[in-house]
């Protein structure tokens, strides 16, 4: 039962992040932010879980649990979540402004922070970190 609840919570968290708009408005040049980032942690309701814990909760191996954000140098991005039975993928655009990364997809924009190779999304009580 506990595993099923966390699988649903994880699915909801990933869907929420996608719906909130992991995307942006074209960056127009090469950026130090460009690159591939992997999900490291999710925090919600005071509970912080790393990738190993998330994979265990989902009932899969850590190698199978992949949520990857790829910021391409042309200002586009992809977000691929092969963490659960129903894989998700999203595309959009991104731009960098100082330490902020703005991502836009499906008409929604969200802002994350970039510091020391870690992108942090914080929306509606859910914080997700991705590391380069």
Measured CA to CA in angstroms, residue 46 lies from 38, 49, 99 at distances of 22, 10, 25
The strand pairing partners of 41, in sequence order, are 50, 129
Q: What is d(CA 100, CA 5) in angstroms, rounded to the nearest whole number? A: 33
User: pTM of whole model > 0.85?
Assistant: no
Range of the domain at 96: 2-131
DSSP-assigned beta bridge partners for residue 106? none
Q: pLDDT tens digits, residue range 84-129?
A: 666 788 999 999 999 999 999 999 999 999 999 999 999 889 999 9
For the residues 32-43, what does the mean pLDDT come to?
94
Q: What pLDDT band is residue 46 in, cutting at 50, 70 and 90? A: confident
Alpha-helical (H) ranges within the chain are 2-20, 51-58
- CATH number of the domain within which 124 lies: 2.40.128.280
In the chain, the number of structural domains is 1
φ and ψ of 73, to 5 deg: -65, -15
């Amino acid at each position: 039962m506990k595993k099923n609840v966390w699988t649903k919570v994880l699915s909801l968290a990933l869907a929420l992040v996608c719906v909130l708009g992991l995307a942006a408005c074209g960056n127009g040049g090469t950026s130090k932010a460009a690159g591939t980032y992997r999900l490291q942690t999710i925090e919600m309701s005071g509970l912080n879980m790393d990738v190993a814990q998330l994979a265990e909760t989902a009932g899969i191996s850590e190698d199978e649990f992949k949520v990857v954000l790829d910021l391409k140098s042309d200002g586009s991005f992809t977000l691929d979540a092969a963490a659960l039975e129903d894989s998700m993928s999203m595309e959009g655009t991104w731009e960098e402004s100082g330490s902020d990364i703005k991502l836009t997809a499906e008409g929604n924009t969200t802002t994350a922070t970039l510091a020391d190779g870690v992108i942090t999304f914080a929306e509606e009580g859910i914080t997700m970190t991705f590391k380069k």
